[in-house]
Every structure is written in structure tokens, then in C-alpha cells.
Chains A and B, each alone.
Chain A
């Protein structure tokens, strides 16, 4: 079974600075996706960024970028120029292509942004 590990339960960052959230996963599959989801307090979960395993190029979405190390099974999220609105729970998630395509989530990490 696939597992996702987020070893840091909480982090904080100063506004306008950069922070990196770490995630490792375990799988024997070859075709899969990795995601970072954001869950603000009392609001629904939204997708931040996704990475297809077959793509070597790291995904970027504006201030958000990933460092995907397939051999090491590592998938970290870098948030640049942190904003107060970035404060939330962040979940790393794995999806096996084909079949149910259910998401397997890590335990999450609470990010605090200090003004």
C-alpha cells in the first residue's frame, strides 16, 4: 500500500520570506501523481500544485514550486514571498493512475505566516 509521510507537524514563516514543506512517499507503482492541497481554517481543501511522476520537470504555479526527487521518493513544496493568506494546513497527497484514483494523504502540516 502507498504511504505518504509529512514529518513536520507545524512550521512558521515571516511574511515575504520563503518556506519549504517536506513530504516523502512510498510506492512500488510507476504511474502516479503527487499533489499539495491547502486547507484554510474552516474552509474547503483546494489544490495548490500537482506533479506527474513521468515528468522530470518540477511543477510551478506562481509562488509555489515543487522539488520532485523520484528516486528518493521526495516531494517538497516551496512557497516564495509568503503571504498572510498562505496560512493553512497543507497536505501532501499521492494518487495511482488508473482504477479508483483515490487520494492517499499525509497527516498534514500547519503553516503559520507571521506579519
Chain B
């Protein structure tokens, strides 16, 4: 299977703890996106990378959140001092960069479901 993978699939943590999620994109994709999906809502954009550069961050991404994509391959999303409001599904997606007027599909991973108790 060469799709987007995410680990862990589920994470339960206590408020105040730090958590880290990993996303492995499709190998030839140079763009990687993080979205957050809360219950009853559609996914919301958090941040994206082109290769190893983080090019945009949403205002949803407070300073407790940090994302990296070393060497332009896998990415990690860390949440420090978790709060109950951080409970959500964290989705990763990857794609090729657009070329001319061609926009490429974003392929999604299965997500990491975070529960903060």
C-alpha cells in the first residue's frame, strides 16, 4: 500500500501532556497538509509544507502546536500541554505541487484520533 499513512491511529492522553503524531505521505508528493476535524464538522486547515518548508499556518495553530517535515519526507505534528479542546481527528494529506493551471488531488491518510481526558 503506497497511500498516506498516519501513526498512531488513536491516542488518549491526559490534559497537560505532550503528544506527537506522524504522517508519511505518498513518496513522490512534495506537498503535505495537516487538517483538524472535530465532531460534526468538516476538516479545517492547520498548516502545509512544500518539501521541507512550512509555507502557511492557520490561526487555529496556536503556539502549543508545532509541525516539522525534515528532509521533505515524513512530517510530525506536536501538541504541547494538551487541552480538552484539542480532542479531534488530525488528518494528513499529500499532493504534488500545482503545475501551470493543473491542481493535483490531495490524498488523505486515515487520521489520528486524539482524546484528551
CA distance A10 to B64 in the complex (A): 35
Residue in A43, A46, A95, A106 whose beta carbon sits within 8 Å of that of B103 in the complex? A95
Query: Is A25 an interface position by the 8 A CB rule?
Result: no
Residues from chain B with a CB closer than 8 A to the CB of A102 are 33, 45, 48, 56
Residues from chain A with a CB closer than 8 A to the CB of B35 are 103
Residues from chain A with a CB closer than 8 A to the CB of B93 are 103
Query: Is B85 an interface position by the 8 A CB rule?
Result: no
Residue in A50, A98, A100, A103 whose beta carbon sits within 8 Å of that of B43 in the complex? A103
Residues from chain B with a CB closer than 8 A to the CB of A106 are 42
Contact A44 B108 (CB under 8 A): yes
Residues from chain A with a CB closer than 8 A to the CB of B95 are 101
- Listed in ascending order, the chain A residues whose CB lies under 8 Å from chain B are 4, 31, 33, 37, 43-47, 50, 91, 93, 95, 97-108
Contact B41 A108 (CB under 8 A): yes
Q: Which residue of chain B is the closest to A100 with respect to CB atoms?
A: B56
Between A and B, 29 residue pairs with Cβ closer than 8 Å are A4-B42, A31-B101, A33-B103, A37-B108, A43-B110, A44-B3, A44-B110, A44-B111, A45-B91, A46-B108, A47-B105, A91-B42, A97-B98, A99-B56, A100-B45, A100-B48, A100-B56, A101-B31, A101-B103, A102-B33, A103-B33, A103-B43, A103-B45, A105-B42, A105-B43, A105-B44, A107-B42, A108-B41, A108-B42
Query: Is B25 an interface position by the 8 A CB rule?
Result: no
Residues from chain B with a CB closer than 8 A to the CB of A104 are 45
Query: Is B66 an interface position by the 8 A CB rule?
Result: no
CA distance A99 to B97 in the complex (A): 10
CB distance from B45 to the nearest CB of A (A): 4
Q: Known A-B contacts: A47-B105, A98-B98, A105-B44. Give 19 more (CB < 8 A).
A: A4-B42, A37-B108, A43-B110, A44-B4, A44-B108, A44-B110, A46-B108, A91-B43, A95-B103, A97-B101, A97-B103, A101-B103, A102-B33, A102-B45, A102-B56, A104-B45, A107-B41, A108-B41, A108-B42
CA distance A93 to B105 in the complex (A): 12
